[in-house]
Amino acid sequence: MIRISSQQVFSSGINRLQELNSNLNNTQQQISTGKRVNKPSDDPVAAARILKLDQELTRVKTYERNVNLADNRLKQEENTLTSAIDVIQRIRELTVQAGNGALSPNDRKSISSEMKERLGQLANIGNTRDSSGEYIFSGFQGSVQAFQKNAEGKYEYHGDEGQRVLEIDDGVTVPISDNGKGIFVNVPAAVTGQFDGPAPAGESISGVKVVNEADLVAAFPNGFPNDITLQVDNSVPPQVLAFDDSTTPPRPLPVSPADYEDGGVFVVAGIEASIAGATPGSPDTFTLKVGEKQSVFGTIENLIAGLDAINKGTPEGQAEYDDLIAQSLVNLDNAQESFILKQTELGGRMNAIESTKSFLADSSVYTNEIRSQLQDVDYAEAISNLSFQSFVLQAAQQSFAQVSQLSLFDRL
């Protein structure tokens, strides 16, 4: 016969009531929080998986912030370049207008005045800042103003050639900036002609322009030369000689027509030019500058200076003015092309960002679904359990109240 003391009865009853009450409280907590797992002891395996899923969601949210930042930066740069293209287009229209031979000096000065305003507008565009106050075209030196005037009043680039990148997924990075040197400064320039040294009176080269790009490429299959040297020999009749100075010894280039005619037009390697006032057999040389770079600011500054200073009253001045207009139009077109090419590149980056953004969104949805399956409570089941546990607790309490009265002291 087993003897059960009153202490055992009370201890066992209280422990059972506490266990039932704890289960009831856990179910109430699940219903109130909506979570099946509120602490690791609720389901150790599920808790470990939920922790890993939380870490994955944190990773995804971090990359989503980076994706939004990259998208905003690239959209700002794209909009800025669109504004720059609009300014260049207006300056090009003014340049075409300035080429009208019927314009008076005052008309040209009026055009020059508007160009000065447009130049300042373009500089402001080049010095655009992002939401954090950094200059977007200064490379790594975001605190440095990209384009500043030097002592001569001409714009110079003061940033560096750095390009910032941002990680938008594991092992996936995207450039989120472009330095102004590559966009505004290193712009392909029109082919120009110049006299080597101080030019004698009446001796000049003009009308320099590329008339056949294919011939130029064919003449230099390994890339454009730094320059082409021209001379007029003393043969009968005098001949125009052309040399590629990028080789040793200089490589002769064919000239068509080869006979020199004062002020006559000839073509060498797809480049058209005209030499006037040359002395046959003299050591005088001319250089065709090919493959040069020209800042878009420098192009506009030279154009403004020419409009203000060139005297069209002489044949030399007229030729110089015509060359200025023609070369400026080529340089402005090249600047526009530089901006458009960069916009195309930005579009490719934004497409990559959009794809990554969609992938991260899908990953977040999938991870949240798995996490929900592991952690979220089934309300119907939980409420049913709560009702049952409440009934059991009430029955246990009533039973304990009856058992607790079975004591000899109650019969005394």
Tell me the pLDDT tens digit for each residue of 280-336.
888 888 888 888 889 999 999 999 999 999 888 888 888 889 999 999 999 999 999
The reported pLDDT for the residue numbered 118 is: 96
pLDDT of 385 strictly over 80: no
Measure the CA–CA gap between 260 and 385, rounded to whole angstroms: 107
Phi/psi of residue 229, nearest 5 degrees? -95, 135
Contact call for residues 243 and 252 (beta carbons, < 8 A): yes
Q: Scan for tokens 């109650």, then name that residue.
A: 410
3-state secondary structure of 238: coil
User: Residue 200 half-sphere exposure, CB side, CA atoms within 13 Å?
Assistant: 11
Dist. CA 56–CA 50, nearest whole Å: 10
- Quote the percentage of the chain above a pLDDT of 90: 45
Tokens of 261: 């005619």
Read off the pTM.
0.77
Residues 6+ apart with CB under 8 A from 372: none
Distance, CA of 66 to CA of 59 (rounded, Å): 11
- Which residues are 266's β-sheet partners? 273
Are 97 and 111 contacting, i.e. CB atoms less than 8 angstroms apart?
yes
pLDDT, greater one: 203 or 299: 299
Pick left, alpha or beta for residue 16 (phi over 0 → left; psi -120 to 50 → alpha; otherwise beta): alpha
